[in-house]
Chains A and B, each alone.
Chain A
Amino acid sequence: MSAPRPPVHAEAVPGRPSCARWVVPPGSLRLVGVPERVPAPLARLLDEGLLVHVEVEPAAVLLELAPAHTWAASGDVVRGALQDALTDPEGWVPADGDDPAREHLAAAAREVLAGEVGAYARSHGGSLELVAVHDGVVDVELRGTCDGCPAAGRTLEDRVLTAIRSLDPSVTAVRSVRPDAPSDRAGGRRLLPLVFRR
């Protein structure tokens, strides 16, 4: 029996009908943005002109279909190609080789903070800001009423951690930093371990 193909499904992208956001298993790709090169099955579809654009998001791949084609007709072909491409993570070459894994985690964290968890904080009059990402640790700054709110802290961090993990399993911890605390954005070395004001 051959190895099972990675599970995927496609979601619509608001306002871009030719684009499909293919949700892929978290952790299957460790890069974000438009890759320099993609594995052969997908590259072939680009060469053939079926696909015009490939972009990697946290736990998703954005694929854009050439104008002449429809997802209803080409969906099965593209799905198969994408699944085959996912079995070859090395074949996905990022455009700039800074630290693709870190960028992936940062993108995942940004997506989470912009999404439901962030909305939860905003609904309580506060906000969450991404401070730094390093070695699987995400530093988040609690602003507004979040800062000092006893409901923040552990619960909020757990929520953020769970949400980020669903996009990037390489995340190991989420830490909250005080707004006035000096932070080292590049390396993120100096960070307070879980301190909240009473």
Chain B
Amino acid sequence: MSDHCGPAEPAGVAVAGRRRIALVGSPNSGKTTLFNALTGLRAKTGNYPGVTVTRYQGVAETALGPVVLEDLPGTYSLTAISPDERIVAGVLDPADDSQDTPDALILTLDATTLRRSLRLAAQVLRADLPVCVVVTFTDELTRRQGRLDLAALGRALGVPVLAVVGGRRQQLGELRELLGGPATWSRPLVPPPLDAEAVSGWVDSVLASAGYAAPELDARTRRLDAVLLHPVGGTVVFLATMFVFFQTIFTLAAPVQGLIETGFAALGDQVRASIGVDWLAGLLADGVIGGVGGVVVFLPQIALLFVLISLLEGVGYLARAAFLMDRVMARAGLEGRAFVALLSSFACAIPGIMATRTLPSTRDRIATMMGAPLMTCSARLPVYVLLIGLLVPSDARVGPIGAQGLVMFGLYLGGAVSAMLTAWLFSRLGRSAGPALPFYMEMPPYRLPSARSVLLAVYDACRGFLAKVGKIILGTTVVLWLLLNLPAPSDAELARAGVDPADSSAVASYTIDHSLAADVGRAVEPVFEPLGFDWRINVGVLASLSAREVFVATMGQVAAATNPDDPSQALADLRVQDGPRAGEPLFTAPVLAALLVFFLYALQCMSTIAVLRRESGSWRWPAIAFTYLFALAWTMALLARVVVGAVT
């Protein structure tokens, strides 16, 4: 299941010989902020062996040289009930051989929720490892009239305790000093108790000794929640927020993406013009530059999505949105937090799948990832526009509504419903592997996230996407280019076929018709025959594996051979070349319907497959998704063809 061999060795971080210190703490305790502040931009993401849990490691400078810092998944308890928590429990247990035990731990405790956080501290302090406690949000504690004596807390816990607020430089300096020598840290003389009620007594006693006064209710949070969680007002604000959220990803990124596409196209033309060798120019311009462009074009969306998500999460609104949507998402076996991921997938499944990182449960994460590719992404739009144009006349109306728009709406709705059903199915299937996780979600006070943490989240997402996903997309683009363009026809061959070598679109069309891809298209004809696809559509479908919108270009090239002035009309005029339907129009209503439905379901997107691989940690889930969605696409397309055939 994992592609790691041997012990957990994260890519890029030299672990050998360096001290390892792990960060442990509950979600929202400022753990990741501290990790980012200590490691800066030198963090690497990977996966824990055998599980779909992302592993964050980085190098932190200390008084005695660099140490490897590991940001463990946030957990409320070491009694694990989810795979993420099992990782934490495994890492902290020296007897557990599946995970390397670090040399020391940093435990982050939120000063405003100390009564709860100390229960985790009780468990962590029982681990036979040096622990140092970093108390966070002490500024908020003071603002909300709370009190805490850090020195007394240190005496009561028996370990070094210091406060670090939002990565302040001086406090970080003290921490770096401390991190230099975990061997010198004081250890608790008597480990805290284990039994739940005894822990309560221990927590009470420690809090009393530390002169802890719990913070008052946050007035700001209470005022905001009164509006943002109001049954009516809150729903309105939520819908407005999600509308702006979606519009931002969808429309704000589009012009930038257009610029990137234009830029890469211009670069490709430049390369084509300056390189004399046709095939090399084609490979470089269409294969490599096109491939790189195909990767980079997603960056604006990913960056925007992560700006918005880390803002919403950092502010604390994501928990509120999830709270409002939870009941709706529960129908699909998911929880409220999956909503944002699915909504983002309307723009593109890639940021959508990356957004599943906010889900605490691995099962929900997988189920959401499986559903996300079904949401109608922006890459489907040009395909839908082309096919709907062929299927429905532009002046056709159903009542006052244009029929084209209605079909488009139907496809969006079909995608959303299918996504929810798929998520429900995979959530169900996952359930058989064990009982469902209980649902609980902390509602943190509203806080202003630091620009630094937002930028780091964006940077991390973009870099991860380019590094891991980019390679896969680039590779497949080049391979697809080769398939579609080899073997390159000689001038003699073109002359024999009556193609003018000077007419580039005719040459392109001829090349595709006689390419390896065409051979594959013909070879898979029996598979797609029931759907009414001929080999030319198959080539288009095959080519669209790199990205869906490529279908439009490929069909354009195929059609351009017959009527270069009006490819759309040429497409409509295409006839079936052989077989029992020879001579009939190729794009009949049933075939078009089948094709539309096929595009609704099929996972024709290498980028999505690549990002699934990255986010789930193995090839297993992308393989399952591809197979499942292909089978679904084929079946539903057949159904569409039969139904539409019966109606028309």
Contacts and interface: CB of A to CB of B under 8 A. Distances in A.
Interface of A: 4-12, 17, 20, 23-25, 71-72, 75-76, 78-80, 83, 166
Given A7-B204, A9-B206, A79-B198, 4 more contacts: A5-B198, A7-B201, A23-B208, A166-B208
A149 B592 CA distance: 94
A12 B158 contact: yes
A8 B202 contact: yes
Per DSSP, are chain A's interface residues mostly helix, strand or loop, or mixed?
A: mixed
Contacts of A75: 190-191
User: Most chain-B CB neighbours within 10 Å: which of A5, A8, A9, A76?
Assistant: A9
Nearest to B186: A12
A189 to B, nearest CB: 34
Contacts of B201: 4-8, 83
Nearest to A10: B190
A24 B204 CA distance: 10
A75 B201 CA distance: 15
Nearest to A78: B190
B577 interface: no
Interface string B193-208: 1100110111111101
Given A4-B197, A23-B205, A79-B198, A9 B189 contact: no
Interface string B382-407: 00000000000000000000000000
A72 B190 contact: yes
Per DSSP, are chain B's interface residues mostly helix, strand or loop, or mixed?
A: helix
A76 B191 CA distance: 8
Given A5-B201, A6-B201, A11 B156 contact: yes
Nearest first, the 7 A-B pairs at minimum CB distance are: A75-B190, A7-B204, A7-B201, A10-B190, A7-B205, A9-B205, A12-B189
28 contacts: A4-B197, A4-B200, A7-B203, A7-B205, A7-B208, A8-B205, A9-B192, A9-B205, A9-B209, A10-B189, A11-B158, A11-B209, A12-B158, A12-B189, A17-B189, A20-B189, A23-B209, A25-B208, A71-B190, A71-B191, A75-B190, A75-B191, A76-B194, A79-B190, A79-B198, A80-B198, A83-B201, A166-B211
B116 to A, nearest CB: 16
Contact of B197 (A5, A8, A72): A5
A185 B156 CA distance: 35
Contacts of B471: none
Nearest to B155: A11
B152 to A, nearest CB: 9
A6 B204 CA distance: 9
Contacts of B197: 4-5
A83 B198 CA distance: 10
B119 to A, nearest CB: 13
A79 B206 CA distance: 14
Contacts of A7: 200-205, 208
A89 to B, nearest CB: 17
B125 to A, nearest CB: 11
A65 B193 CA distance: 18
Contacts of A10: 158, 188-190
User: Most chain-A CB neighbours within 10 Å: which of B189, B204, B209?
Assistant: B189
Nearest to B202: A9
A20 B155 CA distance: 12
Interface string B258-299: 000000000000000000000000000000000000000000
Contacts of A5: 197-198, 201
Given A7-B208, A11-B156, A79 B186 contact: no
